Amino acid sequence: MSDAVTEAKKPGFIPPREPLYDWGLAVTAAVDLHNDGSHPNAEDGALLAPKGTPGIIVRIGHAEGTQIPVYLVEFPAGVVVGCLEEEITPADGRRRGVPGVMD
């Protein structure tokens, strides 16, 4: 196989996907949020934040090994949970944004 063909098959850099929500945004839990084993102060499977619980996005990162945004959301009593976009919704009821599309 030629070097040009081999080079074309190598995966390139895929930049992280832009998050839909901003740091500091008030959100609510769209689903019951349970400990998946990553929360050190709760047992596996424990309910961390029931659906409808208000919170604030305190940090935005990306899941390790993926380009998917993860939101650290602080819920009442200082419970901080890593959430995916599908697990939270803006508290003001506005619609979700679309990366790269201006309203």
Q: Tell me if the domain spanning 26-90 has CATH number 1.10.20.
A: no
Give strand pairing partners of 54. 28
Average pLDDT over residues 7-17: 65
Taking the domains of the chain in order of start, what are their residue ranges? Answer: 26-90
What dihedral do alpha carbons 56, 61, 64, 66 form, nearest 10°? Answer: 110
pTM, 2 dp: 0.76
Tens of pLDDT, residues 39-76: 888 899 999 999 999 999 999 998 877 888 999 999 99
- Burial class of 100 by CB neighbour count within 10 A (0 to 12, 13 to 18, 19+): exposed
